[in-house]
Amino acid sequence: MPNSLQDIISPLHNYLMALYQKYQSLKEGKVADYIPELGRADTDWFGISIVNTDGQIYQVGDYQQSFTIQSISKPFVYGLALENYGRETVLNRVGLEPTGEAFNSIVLDAKNNRPCNPMVNAGAIATTDLLTGEDSGARLQQILKMFHLYTGRRLDVDIPVFLSEKATGSRNRAIAYLMHNSGMISDRVEETLNIYFQQCSISVTCNDLAMMGATLANKGKNPITGEQAIKSHYVQDVLSLMHTCGMYDFAGEWAYRVGLPAKSGVSGGIVAVVPGKCGIGIFSPLLDAKGNSIRAVKVCEELAKDFGLHLYGAVEPTYDLAFSMQQPYPFLTATSSG
């Protein structure tokens, strides 16, 4: 059902509905069943949401379906660490370079013994370890408060997913203890791991992702509430790392084909940011071999091509994004054939 009268009459909503219908029948990929609770996801779930920097919302499909944020939490917690400690301290713990490896690889920078970037599991665990607070509860609350600023609503941890991640997290424990051995994280290894597992198990919707993306697109200010979720001078740090490292070992091809800062998660979500314009949130749990949602990647590729969203694009777009958002009549009814 449409979310508002604007959704009924907006050209962009018509476009998104056609795009949703085009890829709804795509059944390729598999769910992330190595985390048992994620393996229960319905493969038909599919939602698309766009929020622009004026606070307009466009959404189709299963946009109200909850799922866990997983690795999409990483750039936002990285931004929180930057606010707490500044660039130099964070850089001493976590590097900036893409790895070309899988997101859960047990690999550190050989020169500095630090994780290569904050978007792989090693870097995210190190970033989570930097969170301030007298105990684990206070540190988790800091994360939840931050996401409240980004989304404009209270988010909670999905406890069954958290327990499932904790029970199957041996590889992440190996990564954490390797970093502890090299002095990259503190002595509170198990506490940090528990917070990290909970951080990844926060429940969101694709509309939440779009709102988070729109907040980054809006220089860190939530376009609905007007609250500053992250200091504006750290937004470029977060977006830069999302652009170079956010899509696992598909990051190079993503930058080539889509050309937007983005982050994916193994529950099937992708958040993408069009700086100064909008945030895009997509959810579909069927993943490719690299851990990215197949439908979400297809949708983002088509959006980037049709609306000329690639940051380095020189090709005339098929449609004008601002026109599609603002016009009160359904002029835009056709979609690209792909």
| Catalytic-labelled residue, pool 73, 74, 298, 299 | 74
Length of the chain as a residue count:
338
Residue owning tokens 């660490």 = 81
Task: Please report, to the nearest 10 degrees, the dihedral formed by the alpha carbons of residues 63, 207, 82, 70 taken in order.
Answer: -10
Neighbours of 8 (CB within 10 A): 12
Report the C-alpha gap between 275 and 280 in whole angstroms. Answer: 11
| Catalytic-labelled residue, pool 23, 63, 248, 319 | 248
| Catalytic-labelled residue, pool 49, 71, 264, 267 | 71
* Alpha carbon of residue 87 to chain centroid: 21
| Catalytic-labelled residue, pool 15, 20, 58, 196 | 196
Please give the structure tokens belonging to residue 166. Answer: 């904790």
| Catalytic-labelled residue, pool 90, 266, 274, 299 | 266
Neighbours of 106 (CB within 10 A): 14
Residue 136, Cβ density class (10 Å: 0-12 exposed, 13-18 middle, ≥19 buried): middle
- The CA angle 56-62-68, to the nearest 5 degrees, is 95
Residue 163, Cβ density class (10 Å: 0-12 exposed, 13-18 middle, ≥19 buried): middle
DSSP category for residue 291: S
Concerning whether 31 is annotated as a catalytic residue, the answer is no
Q: DSSP letters of 200-260?
A: HTBEE-HHHHHHHHHHHHTTTB-TTT--BSS-HHHHHHHHHHHHHHTTGGGHHHHHHHT-S
Concerning whether 248 is annotated as a catalytic residue, the answer is yes
Concerning whether 30 is annotated as a catalytic residue, the answer is no
Catalytically active residues, by annotation: 71, 74, 196, 248, 266
